[in-house]
Amino acid sequence: MHALRLTLTDPRFPAAAAPGALTAQPEARPALARALGAVSATAGTGARTGTDAGARTDADVLTDTLAETLDADGVAVHRPQLGTLVATVPTDAEARHEARAAVDAVDDEAVRLRSAVKAHDGFFTTFFISPYSRYIARWCARRGLTPNQVTTASLLTALIAAGCAATGARGGYIAAGVLLLVSFVLDCTDGQLARYALKYSTMGAWLDATFDRAKEYAFYAGLALGAARNGDDVWALALGAMVLMTCRHVVDFSFNEANHDATANTSPTAALSDRLDNLGWTVWARRMIILPIGERWAMIAVLTAATSPRIVFWALIIGCAFGACYTTAGRVLRSLTRKAKRTDRAAQALADLADSGPIASAVAKAARRLPAPAPVAALLAAVLMVAGALVLPFGDARLVAVAAGYAILSGVAVARPLKGALDWLVPPLFRAAEYTTVLVLAARSDVPQALPAAFGLVAAVAYHHYDTVYRIRGGTGAPPAWLVRVTGGHEGRTLLVTVLAALLADRGDDFTLALTALAVAVGLVVLVESIRFWVSSGAPAVHDEGETA
């Protein structure tokens, strides 16, 4: 039974097939009706009803034929690898006896526990969490708990941990570190519970993706508040760590989307990477050095309990910076050495990830004939914006002109379809420019509480960008155009922040109030639209891949 469930109930795929069985999700049922009509027209009543038995059962032949017909009709039929599981349609008594023996030889519960764990997790998660969290997942399943309830428990635990860190006391830091690890165990358990019980849901996918960011951002804020209680202002470090981590994620997302369905997708560096993956120790070393979520949270928890928030953030910044440089350099080399042809879908995904607002879009329409390479234009725009924020005095009106130049260059960067070898760098460069500009202006303003307000603004905008990623992954495309227009796009928000800095430079804490109002406005708009989308019937099913049985 588990073989059939594992094969046929995955909501990410429009249709799925196993020997003798085929399922179709609602979006594939019109194609299934056409396939049934085509098969009935050619096979006759006997083949449809299963009255003709041959070397293979008619059910087996029928499902294979339907699957091939669906494939030909453009509906991709998922045929998962069963591994040690058994799914077969016996044709006679001897085959039936062999099938039953094969089924009896499988430890179904062991397979369920093994397949509940993700195939490609980090070292810490694989060896220090999953060996027991899978049993917690089974315990939850047997008591009727849902993955969403476990996800919510993980969020609440992390928020309590952030509250403990905000006390600024050593006991609070120790409790925060312990609770953060408990939260991460629950974070692993919710996905394992979904895979163990095959309870995937759109709401669960959204909650898992959203709560991961909320937990980490909240803990950063808690550490910064705790440090402030002891007279140490680390908000700039907290925001810097968040900017680095988010930009590194955007590099991952952009590169993967650019090469998701590229043809001739090979390169010498990719071949070297594949060879290294065959050496056990290199696999774990390469996964650890990029500081994935398991290693990152373990480091944060230990350092929080044993040291100070300033040390935690410096460790995060150094680790995230190294991971970002490592992954970006490797992907640049791979992009330059491979001969891949990127599709219109990939170009559209990168354009959506760019988050271009009305200004950049208008410039792009006017600059379509310019031969400017997209990554060059984006790099110039980012360097111009960040350098202007660093060099010009806070509140200098010239920075508004710099931001206007940034908006123009941003439009030039997306004027043509993003199909070049390095065009996937465009969204990360825009993220780095926008987030870093907010960070620099808040840090240089010397206005009380400007950095915490900037932290909230970047968190709200980053949520919007993560939400865009998960919509694209689900195959539904970017958020609606009106949302991008209302939030201004990356260039519009950057220009607005520079205008606010110029107008409110000498007006006390008005700059802080303006950043806070902007953070609340952006956060409310994107969160309400995100909730509306993810709870709607048209939202995609997105969840982590479990290990093949």
Residue type, 157: T
Element (H, E) at 18: strand 15-18
Dihedral through CA 466, CA 468, CA 472, CA 476, nearest 10? 140
Residue type, 545: E
Element (H, E) at 21: strand 21-24
**Total Cβ atoms within 10 A of residue 364:** 20
Q: Which fold has domain 338-543?
A: Four Helix Bundle (Hemerythrin (Met), subunit A) (1.20.120)
Contact (Cβ atoms closer than 8 angstroms) between residue 134 and residue 117 = yes
Contact (Cβ atoms closer than 8 angstroms) between residue 338 and residue 270 = yes
Nearest to 373 by CA among 310, 435, 404, 416: 416
Q: What residues in the chain have per-residue pLDDT under 50? A: 45-55, 543-549
pLDDT for 511 = 96
Reported as a single tens digit per residue, the pLDDT across 353-400 is 999 999 999 999 998 888 889 999 999 999 999 999 999 999 999 999
- 544/193 Cα distance (integer angstroms): 12
The dihedral through the CA atoms of 534, 193, 184, 474 has a sign that is negative
Alpha helices in 446-542 (DSSP H): 450-473, 481-487, 489-504, 510-534
pLDDT for 31 = 93
Reported as a single tens digit per residue, the pLDDT across 393-448 is 999 999 999 999 999 999 999 999 999 999 999 999 999 999 999 999 999 998 98
Strand partners of residue 18: 21
Residue type, 229: R
Reported as a single tens digit per residue, the pLDDT across 260-292 is 766 555 555 555 555 655 566 677 787 788 889
pLDDT for 543 = 47
Pairing label, strands 15-18, 21-24: antiparallel
Contact (Cβ atoms closer than 8 angstroms) between residue 271 and residue 346 = no
Write down the domain spans for the chain: 1-29+60-89, 338-543
- 215/376 Cα distance (integer angstroms): 35
